[in-house]
Amino acid sequence: MKLVSLPFSLLVLLMPAVLWGAAKPIPNPPALDATSYYLVDFDSGRVLAEKNPDDQVEPASITKLMTAYLVDKAIADGDVTLDEMVTISEKAWRMKGSKMFVEVGKQVSVSDLLKGLIIQSGNDASVALAEHIAGSESAFAGYMNHQAKLLGMDNTNYVNATGWPDENHYSSARDIAILTRTLIDEFPESYNYYKEREYTFNKIRQFNRNRLLWRDDSVDGVKTGHTEAAGFCLVASAQREEMRLISVVLGAGSDKARTQSSQSLLNYGFRYFETHKLYRSDEVLKTAEIWYGDQEQISLGVGKDIFITIPRGRYRDLDASMEIDAEISAPVERGQSLGQVNIKLDEEMILSESIVAMQAVNEGSLIDQAMDKIKLMFR
């Protein structure tokens, strides 16, 4: 299909630009004491640093991110409510490791169990919620694996809802980042739990194990994990101004190492990169002619918010262009791809997104179609 290239100015369509500045080289990411790690921008999805991102490793209590995510989905779908009461089973009560100290046979609200799962990393809370939603922990694990496939978590398999060690229970740094981005995006209100530093249940006060919550005010989550086989793990997220980053550190040698490694990754990302929203989902980028339709013109846009992450100080060096189908004919459906927008930096293509129809256009009358056919012949 023949395309026509139409240059346009970023300075018109983008946010106010940063100051002019010469390009500076980006140093390598910091060397970390970890088996694998991953640093990604929340909005654009650009990966800023990685090491063994797809290695299948034991995720320990980071597993509870999927457990909490599925509880959030059950609440959103109306299957359970936050004030709904859950009867604690003997299995949940007997769980070893980190606990929120629920008592067998007692009833605890979904809200309290969710806080105990997230803030106190309670294995007992995880099992209680899994049993309440799916009937059994094993059935809930099947639900977890189904959701992992839907999210594209190709190197993940769950056996339980807690992260209790099992050779068939594994995930990867990239997959954990995918889940974390989804969780923050879909359930921002529930995500507020992850920044809570402490929670008291049954008169027992426990502290969040994410030490970054005390060290860095920009950090507002997410989850720690530790077993002998997994080492010390930490998923962290921080927002500074309009930029949010997610770091995943797996297999660190100590609690101190996972904290320092996560802080180093976040500092690296914020120091050397910047994120901009290029286009809004409702923004009309161009109006084009359309033939054989009940309208003469059609509005074109990107259909979703588009973000880009680039080296700091390079905003004005971006080069943008649109390619629109040379002949657009009705009928056209809303969201139908009719071209693409390309963003380059130093002649390197760093972003390419579809240009789509902002509204549907139906076929015109037979007379209108005949007139357009004649016009195109002379055109």
Hey, which residues are catalytic here? 61, 64, 121
3-state secondary structure of 286: strand
Show the DSSP H helices in the chain as ranges.
10-13, 64-76, 90-94, 110-118, 123-134, 137-150, 173-186, 188-191, 212-215, 255-272, 366-378
Query: Vertex 201, ends 247 and 80: CA angle to 5°?
Result: 75
Taking the C-alpha atoms of residue 209 and residue 194, their distance in angstroms, rounded to an integer, is 11
Give me the amino acid identity at 224.
T
Q: Which residues contact 136 (CB under 8 A, 6 or more apart)?
A: 130
Question: Which of 55, 126, 67 lies closest to 97, judged by CA?
Answer: 126
Q: Distance between terminal CA atoms of the chain? A: 18
The answer to whether 345 touches 310, Cβ cutoff 8 Å, is yes
Question: Which of 320, 311, 309 lies closest to 355, judged by CA?
Answer: 320
Task: Report phi then psi at 48, rounded to 5.
Answer: -100, -20
Taking the C-alpha atoms of residue 181 and residue 158, their distance in angstroms, rounded to an integer, is 19
What are the structure tokens assigned to 127, written together? Answer: 């099992």
Q: How far is CA 181 from CA 45, 66, 177, 192, 305, in A?
A: 9, 12, 6, 14, 15
